[in-house]
């Protein structure tokens, strides 16, 4: 246990007894388990099959126990009874269930529901369990859910409809009623097929439902999310839709672009790529250029991808936009200069939807064939969600890409807690630190510690760590001290248009 977790107790007049310290020295994960304990807000439990090995302060707080009451104690002690323990152990440690809800025992015979993320068999007989409060379970009494859901839906500004496991509309907020042009009593409590003409998404397709409302000439697109219980769904409609005079108001200039706008952007050749350099901060040599999608809007000017990403995701257009960016980036890289037989690589961001629904392997093969660049010059920055997606869907695609010779990296690493086991099992070669985390380096001790722990974790796994968002020389020096040489951010140059980036490369060295 870390020394900071063993406070002096003035009431007892002496420090508590020395905590149990697990011996994990044989594994590559040694520094990972212990360094991460105090760097996350959720409760983290490192456990064996039967005995808890270590916990962080957040776990002690959530379970309302002192450290010595958890570490080196039976895992069964945190469950209400033996049956609950055996069921939980089967789900998490044997069947490998990665996320869900658990009921644990608190002192005084009380219970509490927690959401969990589990990583079974990090090493033989060693598992990780991350706990956070299950706020939905705590705010929704089991026998009174219908009273709470209208309040939860009403708290959202975006139109939301809640459909229960009986295909009945359990709740809808005022924004949804306005978008549909319906009265509350005509929607809430009614079978969804009776009050809405609804086309659910097809199996394996984008999670988009089509709602045919009487006041709209075209169907509304609704994103389908899993609800609070098995079989429940949330339908999230586009924001800003109005039915005044039976028409849909056009979005304001600052509103997120719509599916039709995205289609027009492609048809009218309004999309373009900008490139930002990734530099070896120790030598100054250019390693690669990251392709950043931009929409050159005829009225609003250049719009960065983050402003229309949500609309593209809601409309199922991300695979198409990603394919366009991939081909355009490879074509641009083909024209980049070389120095001493070396040419810079090109980096393209890949969304999880493009991996699962976008025929990514074929898109990459086509882009490489059309451009003629070597596969080794292409790096795909994968959405961090790839580490928590279904392994049987993701693993074949990643291995096929690696077989082509392209490099794979996890983008924005450190934004959330990822599954270390997947990092070892997938053909990942690099981690890119989340820019928001890097920007706090040198300003927040916690950010310094998180970055250092990630680098320490990556090294024994054979992973390079790259930093994005570097703004000043102090951050550069801190990262260099950790041997994080490849860096990107305002300190090394802003995003540039493709012609400007080509000119920028003309007198550079490459690595």
Print the domain residue range for 197.
Answer: 143-246
Residues 213 and 285 in one domain: no
**Boundary-marking domain end, from 105, 137, 169:** 137
Least confident of 2-6, 228-232, 312-316: 2-6
Residues 390 and 241 in one domain: no
d(CA 133, CA 147): 21
**What CATH number has the domain bearing residue 326?**
3.20.20.450
Least confident of 37-51, 234-248, 295-309: 234-248
Residues 409 and 469 in one domain: yes
Q: pLDDT value at position 253?
A: 39
As a whole number, the mean pLDDT across the chain is: 78
Q: pLDDT value at position 135?
A: 55
Least confident of 116-120, 355-359, 400-404, 421-425: 421-425
Residues 469, 456: contact at Cβ < 8 Å? no
Given a cut of 60, is residue 315 above it in pLDDT? yes
In a domain, 484, yes or no: yes
**Boundary-marking domain end, from 222, 246, 270:** 246
Residues 387 and 487 in one domain: yes
Q: pLDDT value at position 142?
A: 43
The string of pLDDT tens digits covering residues 125-142 is: 888 888 887 654 554 444
**What CATH number has the domain bearing residue 91?**
3.30.450.20
In a domain, 38, yes or no: yes
Percent of the chain with pLDDT over 90: 29
- Between the alpha carbon of residue 82 and those of residues 75, 77, 101, 104, 108, the distances in Å are 10, 9, 18, 12, 17
The string of pLDDT tens digits covering residues 219-265 is: 788 888 876 667 888 888 875 544 333 333 333 434 455 544 555 45
Residues 377 and 290 in one domain: yes
Residues 418 and 457 in one domain: yes
In a domain, 504, yes or no: no
d(CA 259, CA 223): 13
Task: Write down the H helix ranges in 198-304.
Answer: 259-267
Given a cut of 60, is residue 5 above it in pLDDT? no
**Boundary-marking domain end, from 120, 137, 154:** 137
Helix (H, G, I), strand (E, B) or coil at 364: helix
Residues 154 and 184 in one domain: yes
Given a cut of 50, is residue 364 above it in pLDDT? yes
Specify the higher pLDDT residue, 151 or 471: 471
Q: How confident is the model at residue 96 (pLDDT cuts 50, 70, 90)?
A: confident
Residues 232 and 283 in one domain: no
Residues 317 and 174 in one domain: no
Residues 371 and 487 in one domain: yes
In a domain, 462, yes or no: yes
In a domain, 253, yes or no: no
DSSP letter for 252, please.
Answer: P
Given a cut of 80, is residue 337 above it in pLDDT? yes
In a domain, 510, yes or no: no
Residues 276 and 344 in one domain: yes
Q: Based on the structure, what is the number of domains in the chain?
A: 3
């Amino acid at each position: 246990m870390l020394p900071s977790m063993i406070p002096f107790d003035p009431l007892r007049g002496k420090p508590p007894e020395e905590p149990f310290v697990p011996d994990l020295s044989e594994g590559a994960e040694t520094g990972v388990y212990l360094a991460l304990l105090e760097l996350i807000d959720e409760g983290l439990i490192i456990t064996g099959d039967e005995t808890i090995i270590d916990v962080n302060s957040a776990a002690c707080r959530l379970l309302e126990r002192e450290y010595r009451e958890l570490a080196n104690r039976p895992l069964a002690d945190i469950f209400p009874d033996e049956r609950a323990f055996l069921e939980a152990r089967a789900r998490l440690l044997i069947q490998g269930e990665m996320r869900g809800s658990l009921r644990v025992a608190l002192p005084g015979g009380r219970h509490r529901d927690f959401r969990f993320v589990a990583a079974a068999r990090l090493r033989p007989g060693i598992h990780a369990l991350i706990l956070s409060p299950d706020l939905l379970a705590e705010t929704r009494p089991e026998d009174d859910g219908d009273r709470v859901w209208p309040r939860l839906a009403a708290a959202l500004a975006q139109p939301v409809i809640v459909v229960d496991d009986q295909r009945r509309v359990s709740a809808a907020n005022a924004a949804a009623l306005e978008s549909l042009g319906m009265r509350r009593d005509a929607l809430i409590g009614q079978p969804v097929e009776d009050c809405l003409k609804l086309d659910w998404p097809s199996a394996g397709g984008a999670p988009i439902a089509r709602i045919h409302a009487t006041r709209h000439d075209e169907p509304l697109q609704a994103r389908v999310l899993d609800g609070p219980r098995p079989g429940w769904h949330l339908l999230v409609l586009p924001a800003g839709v109005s039915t005044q005079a039976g028409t849909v108001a056009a979005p304001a200039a600052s509103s997120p672009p719509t599916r039709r706008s995205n289609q027009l952007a492609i048809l009218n050749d309004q999309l373009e790529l900008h490139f930002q350099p990734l530099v070896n901060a120790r030598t100054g040599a250019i390693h690669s250029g990251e392709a950043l999608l931009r929409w050159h809007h005829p009225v609003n000017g250049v719009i960065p991808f983050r402003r229309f990403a949500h609309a593209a995701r809601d409309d199922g257009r991300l695979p198409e936009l990603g394919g366009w960016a991939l081909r355009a980036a490879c074509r641009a890289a083909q024209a980049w200069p070389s120095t001493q037989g070396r040419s810079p690589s090109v980096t393209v961001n890949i969304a999880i939807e493009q991996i699962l629904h976008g025929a990514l392997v074929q898109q990459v093969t086509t882009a490489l064939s059309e451009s003629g660049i070597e596969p080794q010059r292409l790096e795909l920055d994968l959405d961090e969600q790839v580490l928590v997606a279904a392994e049987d869907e993701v693993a074949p695609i990643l291995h096929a890409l690696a077989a082509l010779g392209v490099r794979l990296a996890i983008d924005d690493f450190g934004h959330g807690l990822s599954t270390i086991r997947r990092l070892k099992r997938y053909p990942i070669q690099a981690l890119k630190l989340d820019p928001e985390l890097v920007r706090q380096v040198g300003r927040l001790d916690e950010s310094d510690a998180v970055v250092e722990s990630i680098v320490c974790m990556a090294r024994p796994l054979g992973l390079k760590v790259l930093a994005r968002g570097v703004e000043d020389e102090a951050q550069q020096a801190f990262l260099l001290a950790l041997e994080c040489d490849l860096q990107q951010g305002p300190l090394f140059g802003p995003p540039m248009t493709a012609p400007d980036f080509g000119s920028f490369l003309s007198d550079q060295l490459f690595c």
